[in-house]
Amino acid sequence: MPPERREPGPGGIGGGRSRLGGTGRRAALITAAVAVLGACSGSGPQSALTPEGPIARQIDDLWDLVFVLAVIVFVLVMAVFAVSIFRFRERKHDTREPRQIHGNTPLEISWTVLPAVLLAVLAVPTVRGIFEVRAAAEGPDVIQVNVTGHQWWWEFEFPDMVSDDGRTLVTANELHIPAGVKVQLNMTSRDVIHSFWVPPLNGKRDVVPGRISQLVLEADAEVADKDFGFGPGIIPGQCAEFCGLAHADMRLRVFVQSPADFEAWAAAQLEPVPIPTEGAAAAGYETFNSTCTTCHRAVVADADGAVTTLGAERTLEVDGVTFLDQFGPDLTHFGGRSTLGAAILENSEEHLADWIDNPSDLKPMAPLRNDLEAGKVLGMPSYGIDAEQIAQLVEMLEAWQ
C-alpha cells in the first residue's frame, strides 16, 4: 500500500506562500536586525567580555574556549542539517517512499561519545577555574573590605585601615582599590539577597543575610589610568539579584587607583571633617544633628581637634565577623564622592538639594514603610525641610570632602 502523502496546507510548514503577511515579515526582519546589530554596539563598561584583571580574564578565557568549541559544533551540525534538508527534499513527480533506516550503531556511538569527551575536556578548566576564582585571597598585601548590602545601597568598611584613635575606614557606594593588588570582599546583607557584580573585575557573587560570601577583586596595574567613560580608573558595577523596588538603582563604582593614590585616599578618609562654625554651613550642621544623624554617621572634629562620631553605630554579627549595619550611608566625606543615591546620580549641589527635598523623586523607595525600631529601612524619607535649610545642608555636606 502506498504511503499516504499529505499535501502541505496553506500556511503550514513548506506551504509555499506563508501566512506571514507584510507586517509579520517586517516585524521578523526588524527583530533579526536588532539582534544582529546589537552585536555591533561594542562592549559597554559593564561587560564581562572586557576583563580588566587576572580573575575576570580567567573567566573570559574559559568563555572564549567554550564559545569557540560551541561554534565549531554548531557549524558542523548545521552543515549536516542543511545538506540533509537539501539532498532529501521532496521532489515533484518523485513519489517513491524514501529508504527507511532503523538504527546506525557507529553513528549512535559517535554522537554519544564525542559530546561526552568534549564535555569532559571542558570540565577540566571549568572546575579548576571555579576553585581558583572562588579561592580566598591570601598574603600580607591583601586588602580586606567588609561589605554590607542594604536595600538599596552598599556599605564598605576596611577593617584593617584604622585611625590613631581606633576608627576604621567607612564609606558607601564608591569602593576605592589599589591597582594590581588583591582585594578580598567579605560580604553579607542586612535584609534580602543582593548580588555584588563588577563585571570587568570578577564574576557576580550573591550577598546573603546571615552568611558571609567572599569575592576577590583585582585590577591590572594600567587600569588606574584607563577611562571607561566615568573618569580614569572608574568602573561601574551593580546589584545583580532582584532585591525590591530600587534594585536597578542599587549601583556602585569601583575606583581603581595607583597604590600611592589609594594610600592617600585612605589616609584622607580616616580624617574627621570639621564642624562648621559660621555661616550657612553652621546652620546646616544644626539641622544635620537634629534630623539626619538618626540614620547617617559622620566623624567630625571641633576647632580643638576633638573627634566625635555622630549617629548611632549599628553593627551586625555574622559567623564571628562584625559588619556595619547603619541605617544610611556614612556621610563623613560625602562631598568628595562623585555620585549620589548609590551611584545613580552625579553628586552636584542641584541633585543633592533635590535629594534632601524628596529622595523618592529621584529613586523609587518606600520610606513610609520604615520602622526604625524594628531596624527596617526602605529608603530615606522626605522631611519637608525648607529651601533655606536645604541650601545650608548642601553647603555643609559638599564642603565635607
Q: Which is nearer to ligand HEC, 172 or 270 (CB)?
A: 172
Strands 168-172 and 153-162 come out as antiparallel
Q: Which residue has the cell 533635590?
A: 354
3-state secondary structure of 382: coil
C-alpha cell at 17: 506562500
Q: Which is nearer to ligand HEC, 53 or 379 (CB)?
A: 379
Q: Which does 291 bind (CB under 5 to 8 A by kind): Cu ion, ligand HEC, none?
A: ligand HEC
The H-or-E segment that residue 389 falls in is: helix 387-399
Q: Which is nearer to ligand HEC, 206 or 286 (CB)?
A: 286
Q: Which does 328 bind (CB under 5 to 8 A by kind): Cu ion, ligand HEC, none?
A: ligand HEC
Q: Using CA atoms, how far apart are residues 178 and 294, in angstroms rounded to an integer? A: 33
Q: Which does 153 bind (CB under 5 to 8 A by kind): Cu ion, ligand HEC, none?
A: ligand HEC
Q: Which is nearer to ligand HEC, 228 or 334 (CB)?
A: 334
Q: Using CA atoms, how far apart are residues 89 and 222, in angstroms rounded to an integer? A: 58
Residue of 239, 270, 356, 380 that binds Cu ion (CB under 5 A): 239
Q: Which does 194 bind (CB under 5 to 8 A by kind): Cu ion, ligand HEC, none?
A: Cu ion
Q: Which does 370 bind (CB under 5 to 8 A by kind): ligand HEC, Cu ion, none?
A: ligand HEC
Sequence-separated (6 or more) residues with CB below 8 Å from residue 315: 322, 323, 324, 325
Q: Which is nearer to ligand HEC, 256 or 356 (CB)?
A: 356
Q: Is residue 143 a contact residue for Cu ion (CB under 5 A)?
A: no
C-alpha cell at 366: 518606600
CA 35 from centroid of its chain's CA atoms: 24
Q: Which does 329 bind (CB under 5 to 8 A by kind): ligand HEC, Cu ion, none?
A: ligand HEC
Give the shortest CB-154-to-Cu ion separation in angstroms.
Answer: 9
Burial class (CB within 10 angstroms; exposed 0-12, middle 13-18, buried 19+) of 261: middle
Which parts of 363-382 interact with Cu ion (CB under 5 A)?
none
DSSP 60-92: HHHHHHHHHHHHHHHHHHHHHHHHHHHHT---T
- The 3-class SS string of 313-344 reads CCEEEECCEEEECCCCCCCCCHHHCCEECCCC
Q: Which does 295 bind (CB under 5 to 8 A by kind): Cu ion, ligand HEC, none?
A: ligand HEC
Q: Which is nearer to Cu ion, 244 or 381 (CB)?
A: 244
Binding site residues, ligand HEC, CB under 6 A: 152-153, 172-173, 246, 291-292, 294-296, 327-329, 331, 334, 337, 340-342, 352, 355-356, 363, 370, 377, 379-381, 383, 385, 393, 397
3-state secondary structure of 121: helix
Strand partners, 144: 184
Q: Which is nearer to ligand HEC, 200 or 329 (CB)?
A: 329
Strand partners, 274: 301
Q: Which does 54 bind (CB under 5 to 8 A by kind): Cu ion, ligand HEC, none?
A: none
Q: Is residue 56 a contact residue for Cu ion (CB under 5 A)?
A: no
3-state secondary structure of 349: helix
Which parts of 244-263 interact with Cu ion (CB under 5 A)?
250
Quote the Cα angle for 119-121-123, to 5°: 65
Sequence-separated (6 or more) residues with CB below 8 Å from residue 52: 200, 201, 219, 220, 223, 226, 235, 256
The answer to whether 147 and 158 are in contact (CB under 8 A) is no
C-beta neighbour count of 154 within 10 angstroms: 27
Give the shortest CB-292-to-ligand HEC separation in angstroms.
Answer: 3
Q: Which does 215 bind (CB under 5 to 8 A by kind): ligand HEC, Cu ion, none?
A: none
Give the shortest CB-39-to-ligand HEC separation in angstroms.
Answer: 34
Residue of 150, 182, 194, 333 that binds Cu ion (CB under 5 A): 194
Give the shortest CB-250-to-Cu ion separation in angstroms.
Answer: 4
Residue of 169, 187, 201, 243 that binds Cu ion (CB under 5 A): 243
Q: Which is nearer to ligand HEC, 65 or 192 (CB)?
A: 192
Interacting residue ranges for Cu ion, rule: CB under 5 A: 194, 239, 243, 250
